[in-house]
Structure 1
Amino acid sequence: MNPEFSHILEDRAKMVDISHKEDSVRIARAVGSIRLKSSTIRKIREGTVEKGNVLLTARIAAILAVKNTYHLIPMCHPIPVDDVDVEFEIGDERISTSVTVKSVGKTGVEMEALVGVSIALLTIWDMVKSSEKDEEGGYPCTSIDGIQIEFKVKENAEHKA
């Protein structure tokens, strides 16, 4: 190990202890979008993408990603996922998505919502990449952006029945 960087690799990584926290209703919504060629958007609308139903597959991928966030991000706690809502808005050259996650527990659901949006958008890209490639095999028109938390809520669990 390079001694110059040894301070970076010190054993300081640990999960935050949340055992003392009370359960609360936790809700977070993340949003993001993918820019695609208008011809690709047309194929998605018409249901003619070779790999199948793009938005249905992206919705299932987002839900699966939300439920498995703690496997992907080392310091995330495994949480009970009580509800996941995935929505899409199709524009002329962009698909926007939102993922709303709800849980009753001791920690927030922001990372789960962000992972859900990210995986939904990556799934869309994967399903349409053959339509998005240029002659050199690149993706000059395709980009994912704007991934962020739109809102988060923490409410006392006793007030929700």
Structure 2
Amino acid sequence: MSPDAQTGDSPAPELTHFRDGLPRMVDVTGKAPTARSATAEGWVRLPPDARAALEAGTNPKGDPLTVARLAGLAGSKRTADLVTLCHPIPVTGADVQVTLEPAGVRVQATVRTTAPTGVEMEALTAVTVAALNVYDMLKAASKAIEITGVRLLAKSGGKSGDYHARPGQPGPSPDQG
């Protein structure tokens, strides 16, 4: 008699990225490529010294927002190198916005593909890499910079369908930035 039959518990769900206790990459060979898109965001909270350097344009390394935008675009294309079981997919379009707002620096990335698997990890990687570059560019002004609120905002395409994050959760409030 199986342990499930003895306890009455339902069987454990099949793990997609593990088989026989070992990690594996899911085989998507038989899946048809479809148009997919994902948008993610993250925030970089700036202490007053870092914000002042950014606003005054006195940062000795140059413009953190432009560097972060380029880094996010590059990061979206390198996701499979960084996320262990992520499939390398063709990034057919990417847009990374890095803006200074009252709550801090907002990073938003939208990544598109036509592939047999999703593009959420590419959008999240773009945001994270861009945020890390804001930190790197401003760390001389303050080491107390914080990266926060990295999350998926929306995705479309694929078997799981569309997803939209609940509104009203936009990252740090202005008094935190």
| Same-fold status (TM-score > 0.5) | yes
- Percentage of pairs with the same residue: 35
Question: In structure 2, what is the equivalent of residue 111 of structure 1?
Answer: 121
TM-score, length-normalised on structure 2?
A: 0.74
Please list, as runs of the form range in 1=range in 2, the aligned pairs for 1:37-76 lying within 5 A after superposition.
37-76=47-86
Q: State the distance in 2 between where 1:77 and 1:64 align.
A: 16
Q: Which TM-score applies when normalising by structure 1?
A: 0.81
Q: Does the residue aligned with 2:109 lie in a helix, a strand or coil?
A: strand
| Counterpart contact for 2:42–2:150, Cα < 8 Å | yes
The aligned counterpart of 1:152 is 155
The runs of 5 or more residues in structure 2 that have no matched partner are 1-19, 160-177
Matched pairs, number = 140
Work out whether residues 37 and 93 of structure 1, in 8 Å CA contact, stay in contact via their aligned partners in 2.
Answer: no
Which protein is richer in helix relative to its size?
A: 1
Deviates further, 121-130 or 41-50: 41-50
Q: Which runs of 5+ in 1 are unaligned?
A: 1-9, 134-138, 157-161
Q: Deviations over 1:103-128 (max 9, x none)?
A: 01111000111111011111100110
Which structure: larger Rg? 2
Q: Paired residue for 2:146, among 137, 143, 146?
A: 143
1:154 corresponds to which letter in structure 2?
G
Higher RCO, 1 or 2 (CA under 8 Å, sep at least 6)?
A: 1
Q: Please give the root-mean-square deviation of Cα atoms over the aligned residues, in Å.
A: 1.8
User: 2: distance between equivalents of 1:25 and 1:34?
Assistant: 31
